[in-house]
């Protein structure tokens, strides 16, 4: 066996998985077609849960020094006036980080890759592509081509993580289709550097204009992003021309004050894979789901995929949990993602109408006393999976390990205490704790109880069966 886990794709999701798996001491092989970090931005928004994951991955402080906290969002109606405004949550932050941040993706990916490089148990194969795979039952056999030398190499892995994007080779090879959640729209995404002072909104702005629905995002330093709807009478190919892009952008900014960095035409979708894993192969990120960007949750959801799956893989590979635990990956993540997609689609429907009458009715509705306004970016908790009674919420000060939080040192049976130590469990004593709580490594609450031993026993029964006892992870690549 060459490695515990092979990862196909080395974007933010694949790199997150590699950094977390490397930190668990597991052996990893990463396969990526590109020779280096893609030098243009794609994602620009993350949230506090992603930042906490980056903290566990080893780059929280470094990344935090290069981001801009989300400044809040103003919604402008048909007449150009504010119809609604959403402000950010002030400190102290619920998870220790601003609830939303903007970043520059090439910088972010470079940080993640440096974190991965600190783990000698992770081998990264750049300028390589996956050309074939076979499920051998107890492992996955990969055939990988070196694009620089036109040579192939075989890799065997216990598990395979497909992080290779919307056009995933792995997903297509498995014959797994997407379920369409009924959103299909063409938009232009433009990133530009502000090169001289000019009038631009301090807050992020949603232009709910039927003439051209658009979004404007204030990124770190002098980076600005606009997302512009392609109107029904327009053709996407028109916007391959920078002159046409600048012409449209002139309605939102003095184009002489900016320098275009990238413009790209996107077909925004709302899709969820019909199946998230096939035996030892798992789909993550855009390979498993796609969503319109109105909540900024596309990449965030992929990072959550990685965070959810890695701690479970680590337990299974060490023989501390049944491989049935891995079934909870889709059980937990799919409803979570669907909820986010439904909210993003609802927000998109609110923002992007091109019918002036419908837009005017929307403005009146949003301005009405007591109106709830646009859907908020409030992430759901877990409702199924590895949770007990009272579980599923995100925990403020998670550490990245299993924690038993109690008011006083518990008197645990010796055998239960030994099991708890074997999975890396910690006991945290605090007088502020009212009931015993168990926190999972990904920062979600497993459950709470007045009986710490009963709570740990419930967790053990969910994790451990005889089917995987004695499994060992691979010593080296």
CA 386 – CA 382 distance, rounded (Å):
9
The average pLDDT across 223-239 equals 96
Interval 17-39: pLDDT, tens:
999 999 999 999 999 999 999 99
Write the pLDDT tens digit of every residue in 106-160.
999 999 999 999 999 999 999 999 999 999 999 999 999 999 998 999 999 999 9
Distance CA 318, CA 311 (A): 11
pLDDT tens column, 280-333: 999 999 999 999 999 999 999 999 999 999 999 999 999 999 999 999 999 999
The residues spanned by each domain of the chain are 3-68+94-179+271-350, 403-468
Nearest-angstrom CA–CA distance, 237 and 407 = 63
Three-state DSSP at 427 gives: strand
Does residue 15 sit in helix, strand or coil?
A: helix
Whether 329 and 282 have beta carbons less than 8 Å apart is answered as yes
pLDDT digits (tens, 9 = 90+) for 46-82: 999 999 999 999 999 999 999 999 999 999 999 999 9
pLDDT of residue 380: 87
- Distances from the Cα of 445 to the Cα of 313, 331, 378, angstroms: 19, 16, 17
pLDDT-derived band at 465, boundaries 50, 70, 90: low
Residue pair 129/144 in contact by the 8 Å Cβ criterion: yes
CATH superfamily of 3-68+94-179+271-350: FAD/NAD(P)-binding domain (3.50.50.60)
Residue 466 pLDDT: 35
Mean pLDDT, the chain, whole residue set: 93
Instruction: Determine the pLDDT at residue 389.
Output: 84
Q: Determine phi and psi for 236, rounding to 5 degrees.
A: -55, -35
Task: Flag whether pLDDT at 407 surpasses 80.
Answer: yes
Pairing verdict, β 281-283 and 277-278? antiparallel
77-84 own/partner pairs: CB under 8 Å, 24+ apart: 77/208, 77/359, 77/362, 77/363, 77/366, 77/367, 78/208, 78/209, 78/210, 78/356, 78/359, 78/360, 78/363, 79/363, 83/208, 83/362, 83/363, 83/366, 83/367, 84/366, 84/367, 84/371, 84/373, 84/374
| pLDDT surpasses 70 at 468 | no
Give the model's confidence band at 91: pLDDT under 50 very low, under 70 low, under 90 confident, else very high. confident
């Amino acid at each position: 066996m060459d490695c515990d886990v092979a990862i196909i794709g080395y974007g933010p999701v694949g790199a997150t998985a590699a950094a977390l798996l490397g930190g668990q001491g597991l052996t990893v092989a990463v396969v990526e077609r590109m020779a280096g970090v893609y030098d243009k931005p794609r994602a620009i928004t993350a949230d506090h849960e992603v930042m906490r994951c980056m903290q566990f991955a080893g780059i929280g402080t470094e990344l935090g020094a290069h981001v801009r906290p989300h400044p809040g969002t103003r919604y402008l109606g048909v007449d150009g006036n504010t119809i609604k405004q959403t402000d950010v949550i002030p400190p102290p932050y619920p998870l220790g980080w601003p609830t939303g941040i903007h970043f520059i993706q090439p910088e972010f990916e470079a940080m993640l890759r440096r974190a991965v490089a600190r783990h000698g148990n992770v081998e990264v194969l750049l300028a390589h592509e996956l050309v074939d795979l076979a499920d051998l039952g107890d492992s996955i056999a990969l055939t990988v081509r070196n694009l620089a030398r036109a040579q192939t190499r075989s890799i065997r892995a216990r598990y395979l993580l497909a992080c290779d994007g919307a056009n995933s080779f792995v997903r297509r090879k498995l014959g797994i289709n997407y379920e369409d959640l009924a959103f299909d729209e063409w938009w232009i995404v433009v990133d530009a550097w502000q090169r001289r002072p000019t009038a631009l909104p301090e807050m992020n702005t949603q232009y709910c204009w039927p003439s051209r629905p658009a979004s404007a995002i204030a990124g770190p330093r002098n980076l600005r992003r606009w997302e512009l709807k392609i109107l029904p009478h327009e053709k996407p190919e028109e916007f391959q021309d920078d002159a046409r892009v600048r012409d449209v952008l002139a309605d939102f900014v003095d184009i002489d004050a900016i320098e275009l960095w990238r413009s790209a035409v996107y077909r925004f979708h709302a899709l969820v894979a019909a199946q998230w894993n096939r035996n030892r192969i798992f789909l993550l990120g855009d390979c498993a789901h796609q969503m319109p960007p109105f909540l900024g949750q596309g990449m965030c959801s992929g990072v959550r995929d990685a965070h959810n799956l890695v701690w479970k893989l680590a337990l299974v590979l060490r023989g501390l949990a049944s491989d049935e635990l891995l079934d909870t990956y889709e059980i937990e993540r799919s409803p979570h993602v669907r909820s986010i997609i439904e909210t993003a689609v609802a927000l998109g429907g609110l923002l992007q109408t091109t019918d002036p009458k419908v837009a005017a009715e929307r403005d009146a509705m949003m301005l009405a006393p007591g109106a709830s306004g646009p859907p908020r970016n409030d992430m759901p908790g877990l409702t199924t999976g590895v949770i007990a009674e009272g579980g599923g919420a995100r925990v403020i000060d998670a550490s990245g390990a299993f924690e038993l939080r109690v008011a006083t040192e518990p008197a645990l049976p010796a055998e239960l205490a030994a099991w708890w130590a074997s999975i890396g469990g910690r006991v945290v004593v605090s007088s502020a704790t009212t009931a015993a709580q168990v926190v999972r490594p990904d920062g979600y609450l497993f459950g709470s109880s007045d009986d710490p031993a009963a709570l740990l026993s419930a967790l053990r029964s969910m994790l451990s069966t005889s089917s995987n006892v004695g499994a060992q992870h691979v010593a080296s690549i």
